[in-house]
Amino acid sequence: MQLNSKIEEIFTRLPESRKKAIKKIGIQTISDLLYYFPARYSDTDEIKNTKNVKKGDKIIIYAKVKRIKPTKAYYKKITMTEAILEDSEGIIQAVWFRQPYIAKMLPEGTFAKFSGTISERSGKPYLANPEYEITNDVASGLFKKESDNHFLIPIYPESRGVSSQWIYHSLQKVLVSKLFEELKDPIPKEILKKYNLPSLKTALIWIHSPKKQSNTLSARKRFAFEEIFFIQILRQKQKKEFQQLPSFKIKKTKEEIEKLINSFPFKLTKAQEKSIRQILKDISGNYPMSRLLEGDVGSGKTAVAAAISSAVVTTKPNKQNFGNLQVAYMSPTEVLSKQLFESFIQYFSDMNINIGLITSSGCKKFPSKTDRKNWTNISRPQLLKWVANGEIPILIGTHSLIQNSVKFKDLACVIIDEQHKFGTNQRMKITRKNGVTPHLLSMTATPIPRTLALTIYGDLDLTLLDQMPTGRKPVITEIVTPAKRERTYETIRKELKASRQMYVVCPRIDEPDPDKANTLRVKSVKAEAKRLKEKIFPEYEIDILHGKMKPTDKEITMKAFEDGEIDILVSTSVIEVGVNVPNATTIIIEGAERFGLAQLHQLRGRVLRSNHQSYCYIFSDTKAQQTLDRLKAIKTAKNGFELAELDLMLRGSGELSGKKQWGISDLGMEAIKNIKMVEAARTEAKEIIEKDFKLEKFPLIKKCLEKTEIHFE
């Protein structure tokens, strides 16, 4: 056995399904296995027997299959398997829906470990869709209680085909081999000592085979630190590398800057003005800017972007007395790109600047040759030609902007709107296009906790737009329980009567498949639109919008909503991002418990677009006090950042989906909750990169960094 041995070479005779499953959870080698950490440690009351179970219990039992047969549920023709399981204390029924083959896998007489949740049918408890693992080893299974063990038993994240127990046993074998002693600790000793963290070897033993609770805590702390430390090293290194690249110097005179700041029909907020000045300073410097502008929905990020664009396109390329530097402005959706295009047309209308729009469904150019006040559709090759020869200084678009066919003449600045929708690599791709590196302005309304921002965006400088334009009234927000639903509709009717419009956000597009057992009965866009039209608001025009619609259809619907032809727009959270319709003053959010607080806050921001009083009704069917308390935070929190912090503290690490959204493991997210740890990792990473950004003196760190890099691709 070697550290880089393939799992299937060491543990031979694995069934195909397990091989696949192991690969899927990212374990290929022995060392991957060592780095597969427990989600938690079993508290003994989970390991139960069939006696005294009740609905909702999550249990693990060791039992014998007494009887088993495939059947059909008579009411829905669902195929299923029913079994009677027997352990030392008694029997219990188990049911697997849609898995008729289970009877073959678990013939009568088989001993296995079963884990799952207890459901109830006509007052009788049964185990619903339990996971199982055949033990066929009576001694280790049926009659030995794991709680007799004085060790804490690690519970590993499971997935179909790999049980926690399998991982546990495999790991114990690996640990016995002492192979892990060959692993070299990538974290320098001095750092471990400074923060009182265990060495790699000790931490591996402690995390997989702890003797006591404090072992697990120290080990987890170390690995959490390690994860954040490497992300920090990676980001600091990227920052340093970026700063070595050549860029366009964009210098404006004092008078020009004053003029820019006063070029809006409204007075800029202090925060807007400050950011504009900061950014202008950045882009006049010696290396490319990379700045993140973080501001709540409605804080006016577009104005900042417009001012910077203006500064760029009114500058001539190096040593040239004609032409304009160029701006690329990328946004995540077509709807949003189109709106930006229109805002920019207004802003630049007096300046004789060509503006292009590129999306997968077509290209546009402003102004039209024949009508100088309007835009016109043009072909993609034509647009690309004008972008490449510099005749179109401002190009706005979706992902289409980063295709290789899009070439600029003098691209000096890239602006990315709602940047969290794009990966770091897309960000890098667009900024590393040709010889001179464009300045990068990333913008986001996703309020994320400071610790998270410092980590995942560690290569960017941060500016906060923490102020709203004056005159905005805060959105009146209500949490609506089922009993108050009807009354709320009547209140809303008054708003609609005053010719205002409304959004209704649902968590799903279609009705759930009625056949599917246990599907969450959450409201869907299509069914809710129908219900509202038939039962609640027949007198109003209602339409739907969701991510699966064709881009042109979306655009038509959005236009109709903007023009007031639609009164109520029922949609999924696609409208979350940046849509701007000032006359829409009410938003209903259905199934609110399914959204994070920061996301709810962003949805609410849709109605924060004008000086009318606006309303947000958060509909929730939940009876769980904890969830209701969480939702209440949205009424009291002062801004999005506060809510993001709350999300981080209140939601379980599973719910935070750190991995899916940010590429950070659940363990890493524990570090994110700890500002001290994040700051420590950042300080140490910075120091190393300052000293030696090529990491020549840190070969181990360099090697581990490659893994981190691949992970973030």
Q: Give contact residues for Mg ion (rule: CB under 5 A).
A: 578
Smallest distance from ligand ADP to CB 470, Å: 7
Smallest distance from ligand ADP to CB 7, Å: 48
Tokens at 625, concatenated: 């006090």
Pairing of strands 568-571, 542-545: parallel
CB of 125 or CB of 578, closer to Mg ion: 578
Among 215, 275, 299, 324, binds ligand ADP (CB under 6 A): 299
Smallest distance from ligand ADP to CB 274, Å: 12
Tokens at 413, concatenated: 């600045």
Buried b or exposed e, range 642-678, using 16+ CB within 10 angstroms: bbbbbbbebeebeebebeeebbbbbbbbbbbbbeebb
| DSSP for residue 435 | S
CB of 118 or CB of 413, closer to Mg ion: 413
State the Cα–Cα distance between residues 479 and 616, nearest whole angstrom: 9
CB of 301 or CB of 439, closer to ligand ADP: 301
Kindly state the helix (H) or strand (E) to which residue 95 belongs, with its residue range. strand 90-97
Phi, psi of 183 (to 5 degrees): -60, 130
Sign of dihedral through CA atoms 655, 660, 662, 666? positive
Position 469 contacts ligand ADP (CB under 6 A): yes
Among 165, 247, 269, 290, binds ligand ADP (CB under 6 A): 269
Smallest distance from ligand ADP to CB 558, Å: 15
Return the one option of Mg ion, ligand ADP, none that residue 458 interacts with (CB less than 5 to 8 A, by type): none
Stretch that binds ligand ADP, among 141-149, 291-299, 496-504, 657-665 (CB under 6 A): 291-299
Position 303 contacts ligand ADP (CB under 6 A): yes
State the Cα–Cα distance between residues 552 and 334, nearest whole angstrom: 9
Site for ligand ADP, residues 665 to 704, rule: CB under 6 A: none
Among 115, 164, 238, 302, binds ligand ADP (CB under 6 A): 302
What x/- string results for residues 128 through 167 when contact with ligand ADP is judged by CB under 6 A? ----------------------------------------
Residue type, 173: K
What x/- string results for residues 609 through 648 when contact with ligand ADP is judged by CB under 6 A? x---------------------------------------
Stretch that binds ligand ADP, among 87-95, 261-269, 489-497, 672-680 (CB under 6 A): 261-269
Position 297 contacts ligand ADP (CB under 6 A): yes
What x/- string results for residues 208 through 247 when contact with ligand ADP is judged by CB under 6 A? ----------------------------------------
479 forms beta bridges with: 618
Residues whose CB is less than 8 angstroms from the CB of residue 361 and which lie 6 or more positions away in sequence, other chains included = 334, 551, 552, 555
Cis peptide before 367 (omega within 30 of 0): yes
For residue 340, give Cα distances in angstroms to 269, 344, 521, 561. Answer: 20, 6, 37, 17
CB of 418 or CB of 459, closer to ligand ADP: 418
Position 345 contacts ligand ADP (CB under 6 A): no
Phi, psi of 643 (to 5 degrees): -65, -35
Smallest distance from Mg ion to CB 578, Å: 4
Among 34, 260, 387, 445, binds ligand ADP (CB under 6 A): 445
**DSSP letters of 544-601?**
EE-TTS-HHHHHHHHHHHHTTS-SEEEE-GGGGTT---TTEEEEEETTGGGS-HHHHH
- Which residue's C-beta sits nearest to ligand ADP? 300
Q: Considering only CA atoms, give the Rg of the chain.
A: 29
Residues that bind ligand ADP (CB under 6 A): 266-269, 272, 295, 297-303, 445, 469, 578, 580, 609
